[in-house]
Structure 1
Amino acid sequence: MHGLPPQVITPRMLLSAYAQGVFPMAESRDDPEIFWVDPRYRGIIPLDGFRISRSLRRKIRREPFRVTFDSDFAGVVDGCADRDETWINVTILELYEALFAAGHAHSVELWEDDLLVGGVYGVTLGAAFFGESMFSRRTDASKIALAYLLDRLRAGGFTLFDTQFLTPHLASLGAVEIRRSEYHARLERAIGQEASFNAAGPAPTGLQLLQRMTQTS
């Protein structure tokens, strides 16, 4: 879709776009324009379909990272943009920080002491969570962040976890691909429902997380 100059985009417009099934991207970090994407096939993670391998279960049980929510949203977005090629430009960074300030964007952070080593962030609208990006500076950090995110979405009453595209990495964790028409139907139902990202409180222990995921799988 055609790009729009950055001054045209507002947080309200961004939420309206999500409600219609489209999301923004930039060609590169240095390109100031935004273009809208509505894929023919959409990636989603069924909230009861997250796959955890035996090795990942063992790692979660060991609790190698401290897990927080919404404690360093800007740091997570910066971590996601810290790669050779990225679709996150300054305009997108500022827009999502505005959504975070308004309570419509959230993040999961993984820490080693005071060092941010992984995380994931996204946008909420009704009972839909639109996963934007994730990063990992330690082995399995992004997988663990997703596990904690899925647990939080289930506890908060969310019904749709949109991953935008299906990648081999996401597919290995249980993500699937659906047609645009089916996605839009699920989206319409989800945004008409209520959910809360903060209903679950602090992060559970690794053992509690695994027990809850076993109960819902």
Structure 2
Amino acid sequence: MNLHYTLLLAYVAAIVLLIATPGPVVMLVVGNAARRGVQQGFLTAVGANAASLVLIAVATLMVFGVVLVSDRLLAGLQVLGCVFVSILAIRTLYGEWRSGDKTTPGAAATPQRLPATFQGFFVGIANPKDVLFFVAFFPQFIGVTSDSRVSLLILAAMWIIVDFTILSSYIAACRHPLIHRQQRWISILSAGFLLVLAVAGLAGTVQGGV
């Protein structure tokens, strides 16, 4: 079984550009790494990778015609995902406001947070329409081997490797002394960005369903 290296390199280049572009997962990982430390950043990345595997698995089943997913179901799940991300962002912003308000009794206390791994997973899977992206994206590179099933395994593995590597690079950058000193503002900006994306996603889904 031959491996089509040129096609594989094209796939890797494509996913590097796709994953490196800041999105909800990147902003969540950056925010957690800046505010809660490297370990929490990596746990967030692990959760996000687990979500990617779930989406890729569903997309693979759709490619082979094993399952069908209705537009209504995807839209409903997207609404739930946007609501979850909104709540997560608002809680983070509230926690940062409390920690920065030195005049408020008990301001140092931060609200109970969902474990970083679960945060990463739920934000990663909050847009179930990514399944449709994988359904459209993977077949373009299915020819990396002569066996489509092996090809899908290779493509999925490369996605996870590249995804985790890029997220790790963001985490490392957050721990640079110059950036680390701005950890509170990074956390606020990350949460604000998540909230904007969630509201925009919710508005788009509701408008599309009208």
TM-score by length of 1: 0.26
More strand by share: 1
Q: Which has the higher contact order (CA 8 A, sep 6+)?
A: 2
Higher Rg: 2
More helix by share: 2
TM-score by length of 2: 0.27
